[in-house]
Structure 1
């Protein structure tokens, strides 16, 4: 059972639905304002956690990619073997697991931290002029992400101004190659670094004792008897890599060979998957990432 400073959590059954319920209530109160010209974020204290904002809004980034109906994907890039084993029509890969993953994580985050949270979240683009009003952004399935030059400049500015990016649900070396390529376009002078398990992001709210690998519900069910939790042959080892600014602040985390958002999304669909992956891995890691992002 995961614990946080004396708090404990119970699972409540509501016809086929498992609910993560906090048995400790906390009140939020604003203590001081951030006067930075870059962002209008405020400092809020919940219990003994000092957040650098007065509320939380889960912001999902809409982007174009080869399979999303827009820019060319990773195929054909130097050093990339290319792929094409799956694709999406219509809405695009940016919207995988949307909206349930965003809504469920937001609900759980408010429930266990007490920080006021927008229940609806937002979908935005990197070039939106008011993006810097939101300290946390999320990108799903960036394995085929291709940024325009304007998006590259906007993302660089957003992160240097204090924003935080979480990228999730991309598998195998080919997709990492594409993500790395885009990172280097944004920050050619910086390298993403593997996080060790003793990093505070694994312990800032929940104590997480292993780097969580969360497969999609389909892969999890097919691998239930064998214990396979990876979605591709070259994706057995889960990676959490971070990008830092010159002062050592984490600007971005890349969750590679895992699909945390599917764990958030699938609440109520399968009891075993929820217990083994959503409750034990996806929600604790997601909440830790958001807590860390909003406190640094």
Structure 2
């Protein structure tokens, strides 16, 4: 498996560097990886209109252990419950990220306790660190001088953006106590005010632009 993953790093990674497509991570463990079905199509439409991306409206799904993950420069992960990566999946995710891929994890509420232990499998020698408010992620397209916006109240905690970096590159972003995905969904689903949805979409566009350009 290790040899196969290294082969794909060497041969396929350059193919997705300039691609503008994203995929949803179909992980195991029983969590609802498929939640917020209208979120990414709406974010993609917003990005195509506002930051000149050319993404297909309907994102594909990809498994963490699949070689197909190397086709996508950006992978999105969300859900409410349990998350589980096998050792092979964790290795494949690690190799994907180190080869230039980007993973955005958005806690839809309830996945935090499960996610953190699984990320140790992916990067046993790295820790999630909170991004400072002056990180380029918060200003690359739309300004967020206070950092990650609060979209939905869950435990009344402050919104936090955590990251894992390697050699100065942010390769994994974990947004917590914000629930951006709910803000990306169709307006009638959560009845969020227009300004709240706008903030969620703008922050999502920042994430997409940052991932594609760094």
Provide the TM-score with structure 2 as the length reference: 0.87
Deviations 1:199-230 (A, max 9, x none): 00000010112221111xxxxxxxxxxxxxx2
Q: What per-residue deviation string (whole Å, max 9, x for no partner) do you get for residues 230-277 of structure 1?
A: 212xx51111000011x111010000112111111123x279624132
Name the structure, 1 or 2, with higher relative contact order (CA <8 Å, separation 6+): 2
Q: Is it true that 1:239 corresponds to 2:131 in the alignment?
A: no
Tell me, yes or no, if structure 1 residue 276 matches structure 2 residue 195: yes
2-side partners of 1:183 and 1:115: how far apart?
Answer: 30
The aligned residue for residue 202 of structure 1 is: 138
Q: Is the 8 A contact 1:142 1:167 kept in 2?
A: no
Tell me the residue number matched to 2:176.
Answer: 256
TM-score, length basis structure 1: 0.64
Partner of 2:208: 290
In structure 1, the partner of 2:127 is 191
Q: Say if 1:105 and 1:283, in contact at 8 Å, map to a contact too.
A: yes
- Higher radius of gyration, 1 or 2: 1
Distance 1:136 1:142, change over 3 A: farther
State the shift of 1:143 in Å.
Answer: 4.8
User: Contact 2:182 / 2:190 at 8 angstroms: preserved in 1?
Assistant: no
For 2:68 and 2:84, locate their aligned partners in 1 and report how far apart those are by CA, in whole Å: 22
Which stretches in structure 2 are left out of the alignment for 5+ residues?
1-9
- Tell me the equivalent position of 1:212: 149
**1:27 counterpart residue number:** none
Q: Which residue of 2 aligns with 1:89?
A: none
- SS of aligned partner of 2:85: coil
2: distance between equivalents of 1:271 and 1:238?
A: 18
- CA offset digits 1:50-109 (Å, max 9, x no partner): xx41x422200111224x4xxxxxxxxxxxxxxxxxxxxxxxx101101x1111111111
Any runs of at least 4 consecutive aligned residues in structure 1 with deviations exceeding 4 A, and if so which? none
Task: Give the unaligned 5+ runs of structure 1.
Answer: 1-35, 43-51, 69-92, 216-229
Shift of 1:37: 3.1
Equivalent-residue separation in structure 2 for 1:158 and 1:193 (angstroms): 20
TM-align CA RMSD: 2.0
SS at match of 1:167: strand
Cα distance change, pair 205–188 in 1 and its aligned pair in 2 (3 A):
same
Q: Which residue among 33, 39, 45 is the counterpart of 2:13?
A: 39
Deviation at 1:142, TM superposition (A): 6.2
The CA distance in 2 between the partners of 1:207 and 1:185, in whole Å, is 34
Write 1 or 2 for the structure with the bigger share of helix.
2
